[in-house]
Every structure is written in structure tokens, then in C-alpha cells.
Amino acid sequence: MKEVIYVENFVYEYPTKVCFGRGAARQHLTGLLAACGPNVLLAYGGGSIKKNGVYEEITGILKEAGKSITEFTGIMSNPTWAKVKEGAGLARENKVDLVLAVGGGSVIDCCKIVCAQAVTDEELWELEMVQHKAPSAAPIPLGAVVTASGTGAEMNGGAVITNEETKIKGGMFAAAPRFAILDPAYTMSLPRMQVLSGAFDTLSHAMETYFGRSDRDNVSDEVALAVMHSTVVNMRALLKDLNDYTARSNLMWASAMAENGILKVGRVTDFECHQMEHQLGAYTDCNHGQGLAVLHPAYYRHIVKDAPEKFARLGKAVFGVEGAEAAVDALAAFIQECGLPVRLSQLKSRVEITPELLRQVADSINLLPNGPRQLTRGEVYIILMECM
């Protein structure tokens, strides 16, 4: 009789030192910088860190530590391959010893690949996305100061980059941060929808890991359900009080837990909904968390009968409902409760979302075999159309 493997073999090693809590940068960053050379590439997005005091605090610490600062600014919400190359050029030109990414997942993702691209003449997009090879040179060290939680980007070496020429938004792997500063106070100035969108990304990460191929109960599933439940509870707390520091703290740590590898230990993960959103984002530049909110209920209604026990368990543990279909309904109701988009027409898009565009999205999606059931491109198109 053939043995059925329910838990995959694994090696778990964690490369990132995490400094969590109010005042974490002032308390820890100077000591962390002592291990790095003098030249720092300070990377951030549209400049919100200059309005909320984070820029002043971080640059002050860098200057006190005697660091020379080169700024890499304007990193967009869906970082592009062109932006990666711009940052890599700055890093080479200024002989950078450390890249310090200050922002959310987009800034951190961009900088992960900058760190690797800056030390090689090979174009990493071609190497990773076409040849499916990993970069061989050691990347420039990376540090992260998180100002918008949800993606968990500070906890691993994966990055999502958009190639605007090929209209592909895909995962690349390079530099995991050596350290990450997680101060919930840094998130307090974020707009309501940005906070909730980021938190839904956390929920999505935990759900998609939970629904990966492996149906027997295991430790990773137990932790995933706890992360989901905590995320929902604290999102609801923010609906009552957006300035609830405890809820912000719990969501920041839930985000980190969802992507530090612990939920994936011994698991083969699903992430098909993320693949759908990535390609939707490549064509529309929509907000990632909001795109996931639109897609998840439709996707889950297509696979709920392929994993009824797991859906029912999620429904009871996370939403307090009985039954697989009730779990999907509860998720959809929660999305509406949070005021997140429920239709593609509600997403902010750089182009009109049409059936023809959705066909292109479906035809270019990366299909994964790791969920309860592998979709076809035709079924992906049906799901996307159901979200119109």
C-alpha cells in the first residue's frame, strides 16, 4: 500500500531579526547599522513618511550613526521592473553597503530585487522569470522599516514585480531583510481603506496557505486559523476605532506571522487567488488587497465542494458559522462589512475593465496545482467575469 504523505519534509531557518514595538527604530536601529558599511540607500515611496515624521526620525538616526545617505524615491504601489533597474543603478553608482527600505510591501519588494540586481550584470528578470534560475551573487544587505503592514514582505526573500512591457506581474526571489523594524505607531497615519486593504492581504495569505494541498490536521493549519481569527477580530476593532493601537499592533504581527514561513512549514500552498490578482494588477494597476477582496469569494465558491471539511472548519474557527458554504458567505459578508470592494468595477484601474481585458488576464495567469483543485484558464475567466 502506498504511503500517503500529509506533511511535507522541510528545513526551517529564519534570516530576519525583528524589532517590534513603539520606539523600535530609536531603540534598535543604531545598533543594527553598526554592522553595515557607511553608504546607505534610503528607499521610500511617494513621500508620506515626510509628513508623518518617520523620515525625520530615520534620517536622524542614520546621520547620528555617521552614514552617507542616497535617496531612492517614488517607488509605486505595484513596483515595476524599470523601477528596480533605477534603484540598482543608484546602488552601484553610490557603492551602497546597505539598502534601507522604509514603507510597505511595495517598497520592500522593490528593494529586495534592487539588492540582487545591483551586484550583477545579468538581467534578473530574464534569469528568474524566463530561465527559472536563481541569482548566484550575494545581494547587498537589506533592512526594512515597515510603515504599512499587511503584505509581510519584511519577513522573507520573495518579491512581486510588474514588467510593464510584458504585462506580467510575478514573484521573484532575492534578498530577505537582515532586520525589520515593526513599530505599529508608524502605521497610525494611514488612510482607513489602506489599513483594511493591507489587513485583508494578511487574511488572504493565511487562507491560501491553509487551503494548500494537505488535508490532514497539522500544526501549521492550527496556527493559520489562529492568524485568520485574530486578523478578523482586529479588523473589526479598527472599524470601531481606527486609532486602536492594540488592534494595529496585532494586525502588524499577524501580517508578519502570515509570511515568515511558519504557516507554510510542511505544507504545499495554494495561492491561486494571488496569481489571479497579480495578473489583474499587471493589466489594471489595481490595489492588491482590494483586488483580492473582490476575487476571493468567487474563487472559493468554485472550489468549496473540493475541500468541504476545510471550509467548514475555517467557517467555525474564524467566523463562528457552521458549514462549508456558510464559511464562504461569511467571508463575503465580512468583506462588505469592512467596506472593501466586492466588484471589479469598484476597483481603481488605469484602464477600463472589459470582458476582453479579463480574457487576457485569464490567458496569462500562472496556474498552480497546489490547491483543492487546479483551475483551467477557462474557469479563471468565468471567475473573473462573475466579479464584474
Residue the block writes with cell 526620525: 57
Query: Could you tell me which residues come within 8 angstroms of residue 134 by beta carbon, excluding any fewer than 6 positions away?
Result: 127, 128, 173
Its CATH architecture, for the domain 17-186, is 3-Layer(aba) Sandwich (3.40)
* pTM attached to this predicted model: 0.94
Phi, psi of 189 (to 5 degrees): -90, 0
* Number of neighbours of residue 199 by Cβ within 10 angstroms: 27
Q: What CATH number is given for 191-386 in this structure? A: 1.20.1090.10
What pLDDT shows up at residue 2? 47
Beta strands in the chain (DSSP E): 17-20, 39-43, 68-72, 98-103, 142-146, 158-163, 168-173, 179-182
What whole-number distance in Å separates Cα of residue 3 and Cα of residue 275?
A: 31
For the chain, give every domain's residue range: 17-186, 191-386
> What is the grid cell recorded at 123?
538581467
Residue 60 corresponds to which cell in the numbers above?
A: 536622524
In the chain (388 residues long), the average pLDDT of successive 10-residue segments reads: 58 89 97 96 94 96 98 96 98 98 98 98 95 93 97 95 95 93 96 97 97 77 96 98 97 96 87 96 96 98 95 97 98 98 97 97 94 95 98
